[in-house]
Amino acid sequence: MRKIGITGQNGFVGRHLYNTLGLFPEEFQRVDFNIKYFQDEQLMDEFVSQCDVIVHLSALNRHPDSEVIYNTNIELVNKLIKSLENTDSKAHVLFSSSSQEECNNLYGKSKKEGRELLINWSERSGGKFTGLIIPNVFGPFGLPNYNSFIATFCHKLTHGEVPQIDNDGEVNLIYVGELVQKIIDQIQTDKSNNYYEIPFTATKKVSEVLTLLDDYKKKYFDNGEIPAINNPFEHNLFNTYRSYIDYKTYFPVKFKQNTDPRGAFVEVIRLGIGGQCSFSTTVPGITRGNHYHTRKIERFAVIKGKALIQLRKIDTDEVLDFYLDGTEPAYVDMPIWYTHNIKNIGKEELYTIFWINEPFNREDTDTYTLLV
């Protein structure tokens, strides 16, 4: 079992990598990292000495003073090298560099020089090193105005703001889940590669991305419709968009009821894609679920009875409670990387309609058990 430490564990890519490694407990053991270790040589040495693999993600991406970016990133690399030498580590070090290495900016310069410093360490020490040249990354939970223009656009469109395009150029993109898989592949190969250019998976103009996100806002955010999803990029972009919604205030969404003397008619879901629709009854006091997904899009619609739907992002303690009552039918959509459940809190049977965007496949369930 490989022991893996991630500097920048709580950053955008770091958190996704940390959580994904947790899906393989028989293959990987995670060694926790705290950014404070960089300020304490002893703690840093203790961390490094435990690791078979170190993924160095800690870096400063943006700052008003570009000299601060350069100096910070070089300092972090030098501190890591100092601990590698102090502990005589033979860990496989993977370093996140950037496609901006050849750009005329101090961020790109800090990445290129940091990679070269670690190459020199590996040659002196006999250690293993992989330099990851990473394109523009997007995905759920990225910081707006910091990690990606997509994060900024998603945040604005879900918080009543209007995104602006400063430069409508073409951008090479990779989804964070795809990037994490490439990093895990390199860990598993356990071979040095001083310059590994991770291939981008999509090339889009900024305006193309904004057009799709505008469509998600109009159809999904404003009207509850699942939009057409034509390829993996759009699937990943839609899941990214959903992650910026303020779930506390957005859900549950009440259905529009069309009533007449015969009773009521409610449209549960309007789809631009296929999927699987299911119906369940749940007796009082019973809880279903307590699992999470990393890619699936899912809706719980309560049409009879009283229910408590709970969500918790897997790396946080905050539990979101949503109370639904079939007298006013409503739904809650399940965001990825949130464990969720539904409990019958009433005195009668609970009737729930479930929709998910892909039929159940026992060979690839994308379903991971975890109590809310």
What is 2-134's CATH number? Answer: 3.40.50.720
What is 246-369's CATH number? Answer: 2.60.120.10
> Which tens digits make up the pLDDT trace of 198-237?
999 999 999 999 999 999 999 999 999 999 999 999 999 9
* Residue 6: predicted pLDDT: 98
* Residue 176: predicted pLDDT: 98
* Residue 138: predicted pLDDT: 98
Q: How confident is the model at residue 261 (pLDDT cuts 50, 70, 90)?
A: confident
* Residue 360: predicted pLDDT: 84
Is residue 53 within 8 Å of residue 2, measured between CB atoms? Answer: yes
> Which tens digits make up the pLDDT trace of 290-336?
999 999 999 999 999 999 999 999 999 999 999 999 999 999 999 99
**pLDDT over 90 at 368, yes or no:** yes
Distances in Å between the Cα of 237 and the Cα atoms of 119, 129, 175, 203 are 35, 32, 8, 13
> Which tens digits make up the pLDDT trace of 102-131?
888 999 999 999 999 999 999 999 999 999
Give the Cα separation of 35 and 50 in Å (integer): 16
**pLDDT over 80 at 260, yes or no:** no
> Which tens digits make up the pLDDT trace of 349-364?
999 999 999 988 889 9
Give the Cα separation of 301 and 279 in Å (integer): 9
pLDDT, mean of residues 238-254:
97
Percent above pLDDT 90 for the chain: 87
> Which tens digits make up the pLDDT trace of 24-55?
999 999 999 999 999 999 999 999 999 999 99
* Residue 272: predicted pLDDT: 87
* Domain parsing of the chain, residue ranges: 2-134, 246-369
With a CB cutoff of 8 Å and minimum separation 6, the contacts of 331 are 224, 251, 252, 253, 255, 268, 269, 299, 300, 301, 302, 324
